[in-house]
Structure 1
Amino acid sequence: MIGVTTLLDQPEWRVIDQSSMGPFFSALQSFATDDTLCHSAGAGLTPAVARAWVHHNTIVLGIQDTRLPFIKEGISFLKELGFDVIVRNSGGLAVVLDEGVLNISLVFPEKTKSIDINRGYDAMYDLVRDMLSDFDSNIEAREIVGSYCPGSYDLSIDGKKFAGISQRRIRNGVAVQIYLCVSGSGSERAAIIRDFYQLAKGSKDTKFQYPVIIPEVMASLSELLGTSLTVQDMMLRLLKTLKNHSRKIFATQLSEQEITLYEGYLKRIQERNEKMIGVYE
């Protein structure tokens, strides 16, 4: 184990694998699921949860992105490329999801005291380093200027970003979420977001400073490690790592009680998306 204080060390880990749900599995369903699991964890209905998820050709926007001056043109451009466009309910800016991107959510209950935000980020950083510990590479956590959705916990190798982390907190539960660019071209994904911002911002000045994307600072793990990795490979590494940090791991889907919660959270995020970007579609 990396450290005795890491949040990864749990008595048991519940695993929900949604990495092969197919093209009709919407990212809105994923974010509603994480809200459900936060609620469930906060209420003491579940132990810590690791959920893996993959979405086909989806651009996930941040709330700030919806305030771009020419957002309608930006969304039209993305849809013409064949992407679904949604707005997430956690922090951050636009990211690309596709079949080569594995998303992982770690959901923790906040029991007697709150979980420091950096401790949540560190848990995900620890997880990724453990998953890739057999490679001779130095994974850094620092902002990569020129990447999309930049943040202080961008994960990179040799200055090239392959992952970004965000958090969602609701009802005494914390969901730490990461996208891992496993395969494909990181720079091609970044070029899509670069072109989106160029269209959606235009030459107008904005109060919020949107990132200027430099595609060359982003890459996939397969590119960075010089080996052909797949989402399935990373899933096996995830399960092995969780097993090393717990006495028990077990796989489930949502319980009946959680499905009832999920339906409410899904309706809420669908209505929110319709309000925020439905007018542009």
Structure 2
Amino acid sequence: MINYEAFLQNPEWRFVDESMTTRTRSALESFAADDTLCHLVGQQMSVPAIRTWVHEQTVVLGIQDHRLPHIEQAIPMLEQAGYKAIVRNSGGLAVVLDEGVLNVSIVLSEQDTAIDIPTGYEVMLAFVRMLFPEAGNRIEAYEIVGSYCPGSYDLSIDGRKFAGISQRRLRQGIAVQVYLCVEGSGSERAELIRDLYDIGLQGEETKFAYPVIQPEVMASLSELLDMKLTVSDVVIRIQLLLRALAENVLMGGLEPEEMELYAFYLERVVERNAKMLARG
């Protein structure tokens, strides 16, 4: 039996809290930041890191979403609803980001120990369970049919999904990313993605099977735990948990000497997104 919590017990953790500073910026900047940390941690130029990030009204599309037959009509619908649309650089389908959704990236190196994909998911599951002890083992990981961005590591309580996990691997670094629907209505977010697929498909049959969204299977942690829980509360919980897991927690963003690497990854992410969204 593998002890996945052991991956979280390090002498030092680096905590990059951008839950306030990234809100009005493009989510592409967060993908670039995670790629930068992947490179730094993977090459052991940095200790393992945890990064928190929040973005205002954004729908992050997957590669398959970008291939919807009527995506050119679906994106304006999102924009009319007040959302930006971008294409993600890791696996999965469309997800909703807003002020009530906290994204957490755990960045580890596999220079010394190989970390396969299932292990990366299990480490994040262990971390989320430690973050919310009042939910304990009620937090389960299995595919929630009818949710957006469904996968075998959907996180749910009593059959209703509040989080999904993805991974990004680069230069022997692994960023395991989770979006946590903390505040607000999970079903309202799901309705937006249901509309995306309704307009994007318009009843056409496609080779790829897009999810049939059932908004009632999604909820926020505030709803599921029946408590007033905010994104800021969860960021504080993460900081306290890191202090329990490590002898030392290094606080702060990227160092000046790391910004050149960040600029490289940002340019790459922005160029790729522009190509994906270009029509014709």
Give yes or no for TM over 0.5: yes
Calculate the aligned-residue CA RMSD, in Å: 1.5
Query: Structure 2 matches for 1:177-256, cutoff 5 A?
Result: 177-256=177-256
Q: Is the 8 A contact 1:36 1:262 kept in 2?
A: yes
Q: Is the 8 A contact 1:19 1:52 kept in 2?
A: yes
Partner of 2:48: 48
**Can you list the C-alpha shifts for 1:51-72, whole angstroms capped at 9, x where unaligned?**
0000000000011111110011
Unaligned runs of 5+ in 2: none
Matched, 1:86 2:86: yes
Please give the secondary structure, in 2, of the residue aligned with 1:279: coil
Matched, 1:38 2:9: no
**Match of 2:107, as an amino acid?**
V
Partner of 1:7: 7
Matched, 1:266 2:270: no
**Match of 1:32, as an amino acid?**
A
**Can you list the C-alpha shifts for 1:174-220, whole angstroms capped at 9, x where unaligned?**
00000000010000000000010010011111111110000000000
Q: Is the 8 A contact 2:22 2:53 kept in 1?
A: no
Query: Structure 2 matches for 1:159-174, cutoff 5 A?
Result: 159-174=159-174
Matched, 1:151 2:151: yes
Distance in 2 (alpha carbons) for counterparts of 1:224 and 1:197 = 26
Partner of 1:60: 60
Quick one: structure 1 residues 250 and 40, their matched pair in 2 at CA, closer, same or farther if it must change by over 3 Å? same
Matched, 1:131 2:139: no
Distance in 1 (alpha carbons) for counterparts of 2:275 and 2:166 = 23
Distance in 1 (alpha carbons) for counterparts of 2:136 and 2:110 = 35
**Can you list the C-alpha shifts for 1:232-277, whole angstroms capped at 9, x where unaligned?**
1101111122222212112021022321011111111111111111
Aligned pairs, number: 279
Distance in 2 (alpha carbons) for counterparts of 1:4 and 1:199 = 41
Quick one: structure 1 residues 216 and 272, their matched pair in 2 at CA, closer, same or farther if it must change by over 3 Å? same
Distance in 2 (alpha carbons) for counterparts of 1:66 and 1:5 = 36
TM-aligned CA deviation for residue 140 of structure 1? 0.4
Quick one: structure 1 residues 172 and 192, their matched pair in 2 at CA, closer, same or farther if it must change by over 3 Å? same
TM-score by length of 2: 0.96
Distance in 2 (alpha carbons) for counterparts of 1:183 and 1:246 = 28
Q: Is the 8 A contact 1:37 1:258 kept in 2?
A: no
Q: Is the 8 A contact 1:7 1:119 kept in 2?
A: no
Distance in 2 (alpha carbons) for counterparts of 1:5 and 1:229 = 24
Q: Is the 8 A contact 1:147 1:190 kept in 2?
A: yes
Matched, 1:142 2:142: yes
Q: Is the 8 A contact 2:129 2:135 kept in 1?
A: no
TM-aligned CA deviation for residue 111 of structure 1? 1.1
